[in-house]
Amino acid sequence: MLSGDPWELRFDWILTAMQWTALTLGIVLSSIASDPTPAVLTAAAFTGGYVVLMQALPRRFRDAEAGGEIMSLLGVLVSLVAIALTGGSDSPYILFLVVPVFYSAAFHGFRIGIAIALLSAAGMAIVMWSLGQEVFQPGFFQLAAFYLLIAVTFAQARRILIEERLRSEELDEARRFQTKRVERLAAAHSLLLSLSDLADAAELNPVTAGEAALRDLALVVPFAAGEVSIHQNGDIVVARRGDRPPGIEPSLFSIGLGDRNLGAITLWPQPGDTLIEHEPLIMEALRPVALAFDNIVLIRDIARRAVREERARVARELHDDIGPSLASLGLGLDVVLHQHALEDPTRAQLEAMRRAVTRLVEEVRGTVSDLRSDDSMSLVERAYAAAADAGAEGPALLIDIDERRPPRATIAEELGAIVTEAMRNAFEHSGASLVRVQGTVDHDRGTV
């Protein structure tokens, strides 16, 4: 049955009106046609009891298939008894026989409706035959056709209404799907705008991309805390938001393009809530983050490769060209100092020059060693890593370091530790809303 559908209520109203109308007509017309004999009173009692029973039964019983079949058969039996008691083919209760036919067809479909209509016609024929009335007459066939027409009409009406309800449900589901898709696209669009603003401001890096992702996700997904990590030489957390609720299992969502895993976002739901229904929205919103991470990693790889090649070229030129030239110059000065008698001022000047050449040779050797050593993390990268460790809920961070060349390998670790500790102290103890790291770095000189 069309449970909860407005048409079900209309059918129920029609059935109620039909029952009471047929009952009233049957009682009034049978009383007019003859005195209230026991037969007339019995017919009225049977049909009236059936109507009262139909109204008293709960709808879930009448709507059930088994209950519908029982009440339809009972209605046919009661109607035939009333017809037999009040004159057969001339009985005013012939209209009451329409009630079980309508009920079975409109509430339980074509099969039961046709069966009850045929049963009603057959029962009417048996009653007429038992009363000695002529069965095969035009009136009987018109009556049988009328019952069948009622059954077919309302059974088809029921089928059409069910199809319309299913079509309406499909449209509602499609509308909900499109609404959720629009929400996902809106979230992705908002994140794209944020990443575009970061790119225009030359601040697009894993930390700012992760912070933008968490900030924009928080507008459409209710989560208590979140972390964004990038997969590069292991998983590195680049952004955090909120405080992890104790005792709640987080949900992990991969950030990737194609079959490449670029990172992940871990979200802790609100207590008593779940993120399952928001998973499509989250995955849609993470696509721009995956693209940003991919571009960042690609640009860094290209930059590292270019720096590595340039370091190798400069080291080769220093080692093969400038180094030997300085060594030859030093040997030439040694020959002049040892084979010629020189005045004291001239000798002192040449010895000072020899010491300067020796110092230059040592510096060239150290520079070549630094250039040929493994790549070390730049100071800017160390600053962003320190910001990621501090979390996304701290003060805003602005890194403005003009790093022309990374620090020398011999001092890079110490310098990075100093900057990291200074930033950590600023985050934890300064109470500032903005921390600015600025300066210039050029190999072995600079200020931060």
In terms of CATH, what superfamily is 377-448? Histidine kinase-like ATPase, C-terminal domain (3.30.565.10)
Angle CA(436)–CA(440)–CA(444) in degrees, nearest 5? 130
Q: Alpha-carbon distance 85 to 320, whole Å?
A: 127
pLDDT in the model for residue 201: 46
In the DSSP assignment, the letter for residue 94 is: G
Please report which confidence band the pLDDT of residue 405 belongs to, taking 50, 70 and 90 as the band edges.
low
Please report which confidence band the pLDDT of residue 276 belongs to, taking 50, 70 and 90 as the band edges.
confident
Residue with the larger pLDDT of the pair 430 and 141: 141
Q: Is the dihedral of CA 365, 366, 369, 370 positive or negative?
A: negative
Q: Alpha-carbon distance 80 to 75, whole Å?
A: 9
For residues 38-47, give the mean pLDDT: 86
For residues 215-220, give the mean pLDDT: 78
Please report which confidence band the pLDDT of residue 57 belongs to, taking 50, 70 and 90 as the band edges.
confident
pLDDT in the model for residue 1: 44
In the chain, residues under CATH classification 3.30.565.10 are 377-448
In the DSSP assignment, the letter for residue 34 is: S
Q: Is the pLDDT of residue 373 over 60?
A: yes
Does this model's pTM top 0.75? My answer is: no
Unique residue bearing structure tokens 């109607």 = 79
Q: Is the pLDDT of residue 235 over 70?
A: no
pLDDT in the model for residue 342: 64
For residues 12-27, give the mean pLDDT: 84
For residues 420-440, give the mean pLDDT: 78
Please report which confidence band the pLDDT of residue 303 belongs to, taking 50, 70 and 90 as the band edges.
low
Please report which confidence band the pLDDT of residue 253 belongs to, taking 50, 70 and 90 as the band edges.
confident
Q: Are 379 and 441 in contact (CB under 8 A)?
A: yes
Beta-carbon contacts of 329 under 8 Å, excluding residues fewer than 6 positions away, are 357
Q: Is the pLDDT of residue 6 over 80?
A: no
In terms of C-beta distances under 8 Å and separation of at least 24 residues, what long-range contacts does 97-100 make, across chains too?
Answer: 97/124, 97/147, 98/18, 98/22, 98/146, 98/147, 98/150, 99/15, 99/18, 99/19, 99/22, 99/75, 100/71, 100/72, 100/73, 100/74, 100/75, 100/76
For the chain, the average pLDDT equals: 77
Q: Which tokens in the block code for residue 153?
A: 């009409």
For residues 62-89, give the mean pLDDT: 86
Unique residue bearing structure tokens 């407005």 = 6
Q: Is the dihedral of CA 81, 86, 88, 91 positive or negative?
A: negative
Q: Are 147 and 99 in contact (CB under 8 A)?
A: no
pLDDT digits (tens, 9 = 90+) for 167-205: 888 888 877 777 766 666 566 556 556 555 555 444 557
pLDDT digits (tens, 9 = 90+) for 83-126: 888 888 888 888 888 888 888 888 888 888 888 889 888 888 89
Q: Alpha-carbon distance 220 to 122, whole Å?
A: 66
pLDDT in the model for residue 217: 78
pLDDT in the model for residue 194: 59
Please report which confidence band the pLDDT of residue 2 belongs to, taking 50, 70 and 90 as the band edges.
very low
